[in-house]
Amino acid sequence: MVTLNHLSVEDPDDDSPLLPEAVEAATPMPDFHKRQVVTKTDSREYSLNRSENLAFSLVLLIGCYSAILIPVYFSMDKEAPHSNDYQHPRDLALLNRSAFLLSGPCQPRWCLNHLKPLSCSAGLLNIPVFVQQDSPVPWDLPPPLGLQGSEDHLALALASLPQLGLPPSLRRDSSCRRCVVVGNGGVLHGSHLGSHIDLYDIIIRLNNAPVSGFERDAGSHTTVRLIYPEGAPHSAKEYKKTTMVALVVFKSLDLDWLTAVITKQPLSFWSKMWFWREVVDDIPLRPENFRILHPEIIHRTGQVLQKYALKQGNVVHDISAEKLFLRDLVAAGAVTDLTGAL
């Protein structure tokens, strides 16, 4: 916006020189000169009026565009949530593929039989899934590959757990079960796979993978949620329809956190200072719904990942190595990459 300031032609109070227009006004003139001045003034006023008209026209034009476009913008914004109802051909193909997998019979030991060529299952069947009090192990590695140096913390955590082993529904001697691991990425967004995911017998989620509000795409049930303290969801809604939460131990303090959550005795302020982010104080599940993942599973998996790692010694969460390993699992037929994200 351009603002025009009016210039005064009256005599100033001080002795400062007058503007040329003021000099002319103060000097007597013949009549014809006055007529010329009036004509000049009329011309200037006409020029100003034309500028004002142009400015007014621009404002009016912008106002018209605003009156037209702003309601359209808000109506589009209100309709945006319904845009997800459109099914992209890729998503339809994904739904068809998922339905085909679920329509086939469950085949016992399918995964184990297809793991044998990769030598990934050696010794894994002899390791309990969760740490148990009745089978003490001499830990020779610190967390997360073992529990060396955390024995006292472990004893307190195990004492707070009324159940330690696999529940009957997950035991190996039960019937054939289908398993699905739901990751934390956004690849499921808009997939409408939620109802398919809920049909699996065992649904595994990781850390704070969201469920609440994403049921249509990610499902609503959780059999096992693997977490560490900093990765545990803070919203109570995320624990609805959850059978079990299993702690993955990365440090001794993680065991103290689990004990505090189960016994409803909050950690001290000093203990909380050692977490790299704020941790949740309460998880709305009963004590029998908690477990501790056996660290030997992480240790054995880390040994396998070493074969894929570009830099030896980097065991914990080498994403590049993990991706290569997962691709080999898919190629061997041990697992199915449902979304094609690999």
- Mapped to the 3 state alphabet, what secondary structure does 126-137 carry? HCCCECCCCCCC
**Max CA-CA distance within the chain?**
121
Amino acid at 62: I
Q: Where in the chain is the domain with CATH 3.90.1480.20?
A: 142-293
> Could you tell me which CATH number the domain at 142-293 has?
3.90.1480.20
Region of 289 on the Ramachandran plot (φ > 0 left; ψ -120 to 50 alpha; else beta): alpha
Write the pLDDT tens digit of every residue in 126-156. Answer: 888 999 886 667 799 999 999 999 999 999 9
Number of Cβ within 10 Å of residue 55's Cβ equals 13
- The pLDDT value given to residue 67: 40
**Residue of 197, 237, 2 whose CA lies nearest to 95:** 197
- The pLDDT value given to residue 309: 86
User: Coil, helix or strand for 339?
Assistant: coil
> Considering the entire predicted model, what is its pTM?
0.72
- The pLDDT value given to residue 318: 82
Write the pLDDT tens digit of every residue in 24-82. Answer: 444 444 444 444 444 444 545 444 455 555 554 544 444 544 443 433 333 333 333 34
Number of Cβ within 10 Å of residue 295's Cβ equals 24
- The pLDDT value given to residue 124: 77
- The pLDDT value given to residue 126: 81
Q: Using 70 as the pLDDT threshold, list the residues of the chain that sit under it.
A: 1-87, 122, 134-136, 172-174, 312-314, 316
**Residue of 234, 312, 247 whose CA lies nearest to 278:** 234
